Amino acid sequence: MSKPDASPSASTAAPTLDAPLLPRIKSPADLKALSVDQLPQLAEEMRHAICDTVSKSGGHLAPNLGVVELSIALHYVFDFSHDRLLFDVGHQCYPHKMMTGRADLLPKLRQRDGISGFPEPRESPYDLFSVGHAGTAISTAVGMARGDQALGHGDRRVVSIIGDASIVNGVAMEGLNNAGTLHRQFLVVLNDNGMSIAKPQGAMAQYFDRMRVNSAYGHFKKRAHEVLARTPFGHALEDMYHRAGEMMKAMITSGHMFEQFGLLCVGPIDGHDLPSLIDMLNEIKDFDRPVLLHCKTIKGKGFDFTAGDPSKFHSPSPFTVEGCRVEMKKSGRSFTTAYADAMVDIMKRDDKVFAITAAMPDGTGINKILPLFPERSLDTGICESHAMDMAAGLAKSGMKPFFAVYSTFAQRAFDQVFQEVSLQGLAVRICLDRAGFVGDDGAVHHGFMDISMFNPLPGVVMLAASDEGNLRAGLEFMRTYDAGCSVIRYPRDAVAETQVVANVPAYELGKAALIKPAKGAKADIAILAYGTEVYEAHKALADLEKQGYDVALYDARFAKPVDVELVRQLVEAGIPILTVEDHFITGGFGACVLEACNQNRIPTDLIHRLAMPEKWVYQASRKFQLGEVGLDATGIARKVRQVLDQRTAANADVAAASR
């Protein structure tokens, strides 16, 4: 399509005389009522609806634009009210949702009263798993295939769709290894867009590059066009060739590596050629052995600005299109940007520092580091376990690895932190972006369990950053900390424009920082806030002070080790303590405080906790999510009043009883 002149919803499509098709699609049955010739128009309408929505709400744009035809073809051939469709990662599910009765909800994408940006079984029986991590689709599909067969439902076809960068994930390889043992229909659709989230890394990516430019197919295709051009009725034959060409390519392309897993491999085939896709799927849908269909697609297809920069538009914030210029909505300086800038400064000063990410160079800020320090930075691709083990190897060799990873994805490397890092006493630095609530990506991406996950490991030190100054100070502490593994967490949020403490002190192992002392000789209560909850607590103080409460506020800084001496002093002074954190209450910072008290024989009657409740919190803004569970300023003030009012009532009861 040409470059847009105005809004993406109104400018990039060629005018059509046909009535709109998308409003007619309320279910896959409505899709099947269309002719194959009508499907390209539907694909174009879907692309514009997706782009228009994401321009307002943010979301995963380029991945969904790239699978429109593939999604249409799958629903056109299969009956997923009976058959099984499983997504890998799931961020490419918007077209699927639009064809399964949720097109009307698309304008409320990633909103609490709308639809999730990932498959969500609460929304529709067409969504089988709530999924946001890579590599899982093949294994869950194998399980459903075996389960259906065992229960006498072997007529249910099973399809999984996975990207070219996801398929190198260890879990995906394990799934393929078991898929090859099935003796029934089983289809793996490999969506090969040469991109995934960022440019794929490693030998597998190079293999797919060779498949995409297979010289035998390219030569065959060129010669066929030349012959047809000189043949009577060439245009008719050209159309026949176009529809049969992809199947011809499947026949001449041999030696696909996944054949070694026991799968029949077909392709590569053009993932945007709807007639050929539908013909091919009809041919292979009932094969009685596992099949891998290799489809070539263009990530961001349909708009020049998305296809031209698919990494930037993988998951953009809201944007506007003005002619050839696309403006992203500004949301303040992010922790991710602050991390990148801090790491650049550190790497300039210390030539032993090595920066790592696992397929998230944009999301973690490493994209700024890679061109500046190409010999001391690496994107490993979607393989958190390998990245963590590689970091262990770097540490063992004498380097100082900093692994930037989303908190939710760090879960996938826990075994490596246990075995190859903590057990060895190695100084690997783990930087957890998107800790706590992540906002509109919802439950699949919340970083709610990193403290509880790493706390049991001997020698691990856990920090949190409340603002940019503390992030820089925390990273500097980690740079010089060689006694073991260190972990720092920070949210998907903007850093504070004005810091509550102008001159941030250096991090001292296991020591909290006083943010605001009590006005009187003794505080009514002390808040120990972990991470950015310092700022919500600080906002709460204004309201509390107006009501006559005298509150001391501390930035806890460390969950392990806890500042035991501070806790002891407060308890011995009879000052109640409220711990505040954006982590599950089970195993979080507050739990660490209670455990430290138990170990040091400090009474815990005065200690109260405020944290994420043990329930799933779904898509909405991060601000909304914090407010929903009482972790915003209003909720913290309410909890302080509750603690102090209960204490006053208890003291009154004791006094009455003593009379």
Alpha-carbon distance 30 to 153, whole Å? 25
Final residue belonging to a domain, choices 322, 345, 372: 322
How many angstroms separate the CA atoms of 608 and 578, rounded? 5
Query: 653 and 521, same structural domain?
Result: yes
> Would residue 482 count as lying in a domain?
yes
Pairing relation of β-strands 290-296 and 319-322?
unpaired
CA distance 44 to 48: 6
Name the residues annotated as catalytic.
299, 384, 412
Cα separation of 586 and 604, whole Å? 16
**Quick one: pLDDT at residue 8?**
45
The amino acid at residue 351 is D
342 and 428 belong to one structural domain: yes
Query: Which CATH number covers residue 384?
Result: 3.40.50.970
What are the tens digits of pLDDT across the range 121-145? 999 999 999 998 999 999 999 999 9
In a domain, 500, yes or no: no
Whether 644 and 521 map to the same domain: the answer is: yes
Residues with Cβ within 8 Å of residue 38, at least 6 apart in sequence: 18, 21
Res. 286 pLDDT band, cuts 50 70 90: very high
Last residue of some domain: 447, 473, 489? 489
d(CA 396, CA 370): 22
In whole angstroms, give the CA distance from residue 217 to residue 294.
14
Domain containing 530 — which CATH number? 3.40.50.920
Q: Which of 259-263, 342-346, 404-408, 507-511 has the lowest mean pLDDT?
A: 259-263
Residue 480 in tokens: 């010089």
431 and 316 part of one domain: no
* Residue 1 lies inside a defined structural domain of this protein: no
User: How many independent structural domains does the chain possess?
Assistant: 3
pLDDT bucket at 538, cuts 50 / 70 / 90: very high
330, part of any domain = no
Residue 222 has pLDDT above 60, yes or no: no
Is 242 contained in some domain? Answer: no
Same domain, 261 and 352: no
Please compute the mean of the pLDDT values over residues 593-598 and round it to a whole number: 98
Instruction: Look up residue 7 and give its amino acid.
Output: S
pLDDT for the residue 653: 67
Rounded distance between C-alpha atoms, residue 624 and residue 619, angstroms: 9
Give me 522's structure tokens.
């003794």
Q: What is the pLDDT of residue 396?
A: 97
Give me the pLDDT at residue 282, please: 96
- At 194, the pLDDT band (50, 70, 90 cuts) reads confident
Q: pTM here? A: 0.85
In angstroms, the CA 393 to CA 387 distance is 10
Please check whether residues 173 and 312 belong to one and the same domain.
yes
* Same domain assignment for residues 429 and 532: no
Alpha carbons 405 and 475: distance in angstroms, whole number: 15
For residue 7, the model assigns a pLDDT of 41
Q: Are residues 278 and 342 in the same domain?
A: no
Residue 598 lies in a domain: yes
The pLDDT of residue 243: 52
Decide if 114 is inside a domain.
Answer: yes
Burial class of residue 499 (count of CB atoms within 10 Å of its CB; 0-12, 13-18, 19+): middle
Tell me, yes or no, whether 4 lies in a domain: no
Does pLDDT of 234 surpass 70? no
Single-letter code of the amino acid located at 598: N
Question: How many angstroms separate the Cα of 309 from the Cα of each of 201, 314, 515?
Answer: 17, 9, 43
404's tokens:
């930037």
Do 409 and 482 fall within a single domain?
yes
What's the CA angle centered on 254, arms 250 and 257, to 5 degrees? 110
Check residue 2 and give its pLDDT: 38
Looking at residue 623, its pLDDT comes to 95
DSSP calls for 607-632: EEEEEE-SS---SS-HHHHHHHTT-S
Q: Which residue has the tokens 């080790």?
A: 561
Mean pLDDT score of the chain: 89
Tell me the CA distances in angstroms from 159 to 133, 138, 144, one per residue in order: 18, 9, 10
Q: What is the pLDDT of residue 200?
A: 53
Residue 625 pLDDT > 60: yes
Sequence-separated (6 or more) residues with CB below 8 Å from residue 383: 168, 169, 170, 358, 359
Q: Are residues 257 and 355 in the same domain?
A: no
User: Of the candidates 298, 322, 346, which is a domain's last residue?
Assistant: 322
Virtual CA dihedral for 356, 358, 362, 368, nearest 10 degrees? 20
Quote the percentage of the chain above a pLDDT of 90: 77
Band of pLDDT at residue 362, cut at 50, 70 and 90:
very high
Contact assessment for residue 421 and residue 478, using Cβ atoms and an 8 Å cutoff: no
Answer yes or no: do 601 and 480 share one domain: no
Residues 308 and 388 grouped into a single domain: no
Q: Which domain holds residue 358?
A: 335-489
Stated as kind and residue range, the H or E segment containing 357 is: strand 353-357
